[in-house]
Amino acid sequence: MKVLFISPHYPEEMQGFTRGLAEVGAQVYAVGDVPEAQLPGHVRKYISGYLRVDTLFDEAAALAQILPFAARLQPDRVECLWEPCVLLAAALRERLDVPGMSRDRVLGFRDKTLMKTRLIEAGIRVPHFAKIRTAPEAFAAAESIGYPVVIKPIAGAGSADTFRVDSQAAMEGVLRQIGHLEEANLEEYIDGEEYTYDTVTIRGNPAFESVTQYYPKPMEARHQEWVSPAQLTLRDPFAHPEVHAGIELGRRVLTALGMETGFTHMEWFRKASGEVVFGEIAARAPGGKLVDQMNFANDLDIFREWARAVCWHSFEATPHRRYYCAAVFKRAIGRGRVNAIRGLDALRRRCGRGLVALELTPVGQPRRDWRNTLIGDGFAIIRHPDHHEALRLMGQAISDLRLYAG
């Protein structure tokens, strides 16, 4: 089994998927835009070959460099889990006649307007929306849909360039901020709790399902520096009746968009009335340590099981569903270099062995730009079998663990 894997080292979680492919018996031939010597050693040991290309973001240029290499290699699979390159992988599959989702089908998971159009055709509730290219189109769409609205990129990831707009005056400022985008998606703002629905699917059927709740919504955390974004992966989503409708929604979305085999990451809303509304979905793994949370919550290796699914159409691990697992991301208070970390000893005492991962910007190092990364100045991952105690521990990490800069 030869697998051509695009971007084996970045984002960071791709390193786990590279390992997973090798551990299930695949020969991993990687494609990236950095010299092979710059790959981490623990990545290089899992690859059987490497092609450096000038760019991964110009599809035509990348295809011109990859196709001769791939034609000689004759891979059995072409895979990519990094959002900007999923269409490149699909184009390669089509040109090489390799099994996997077509470019058109992958586009349905990438283009938010096309995505929602296809779901409406399947009778699925999505936010009212419009594609906009000009300021007059934006104002007209907002008036038609009704404020507040949300503006986001057509093909984005995370909450970059995503804004809530409450009025015509606010719209003018937001349009200046997104002037670099050729087009955008303008949609109804959904007032409700926000969750994920994450799966590994095999031939369209979920072999693994996970639900995580955001605290607060990512869009709110994106624009408020003082917030410590957090997310809680449910121990067993099937034991929480309040998310059952979201799980069913997710399954319907997978069917409507024609998901085949691979990872999916969907976001959805639960309104106070109990109505569930689709947000968006991607045919890739989530970032922001969410894959690690799934592993810690279930005592499995989802990196390896994804690889087993795409290579052999099998999922062998048993999700034990023993823990609620929280991730809390920290942002230093102040500017300059981190000069103090407070509350860490108390958090360690309270969590004990439940503090399963911790990475903070060391004292003396410059604080990171919170606008460019969810991880910010580090994170704590905490697990506990009890829901209420997991929430309490997450709350302590949010309120009491603090980094200061100056």
pLDDT at residue 53, rounded to an integer: 98
Domain 191-316: homologous superfamily in CATH: ATP-grasp fold, B domain (3.30.470.20)
Fold observed for domain 2-100: Rossmann fold (3.40.50)
303 pLDDT more than 90: yes
C-alpha pair distances (Å), 165 with each of 61, 156, 222: 37, 18, 14
Q: What is the tens place of the pLDDT at every residue in 344-399?
A: 999 999 999 999 999 999 999 999 998 888 899 999 999 999 999 999 999 999 99
pLDDT interval class at 210 (50, 70, 90): very high
pLDDT at residue 158, rounded to an integer: 59
Q: What is the tens place of the pLDDT at every residue in 314-333?
A: 999 999 999 999 999 999 99
Q: What is the tens place of the pLDDT at every residue in 6-31?
A: 999 999 999 999 999 999 999 999 99
pLDDT at residue 88, rounded to an integer: 98
Q: What is the tens place of the pLDDT at every residue in 81-115?
A: 999 999 999 999 999 999 999 999 999 999 988 99
| 240: Cα separation from own chain's centroid | 23
pLDDT at residue 380, rounded to an integer: 98
Domain extents in the chain: 2-100, 128-188, 191-316, 323-406
Mean pLDDT of 47-76: 97
For residue 258, what are its two tokens? Answer: 């024609």
Q: What is the tens place of the pLDDT at every residue in 251-282?
A: 999 999 999 999 999 999 999 999 999 999 99
The candidate with the shortest Cα–Cα distance to 148, out of 166, 130, 174, is 166
CATH class of 128-188: alpha beta
Mean pLDDT of 235-244: 98
Could you tell me which CATH number the domain at 323-406 has? 3.90.1170
pLDDT at residue 190, rounded to an integer: 94
pLDDT at residue 11, rounded to an integer: 95
Mean pLDDT of 329-345: 97
Mean pLDDT of 104-133: 94
Q: What is the tens place of the pLDDT at every residue in 131-190?
A: 999 999 999 999 999 999 999 888 766 567 889 999 998 998 999 988 888 899 899 999
Determine which of 18-22, 111-115, 221-225, 229-233 has the lowest per-residue pLDDT on average: 221-225
Determine which of 10-19, 174-183, 226-235, 297-306 has the lowest per-residue pLDDT on average: 174-183
pLDDT at residue 161, rounded to an integer: 81
Mean pLDDT of 218-224: 83
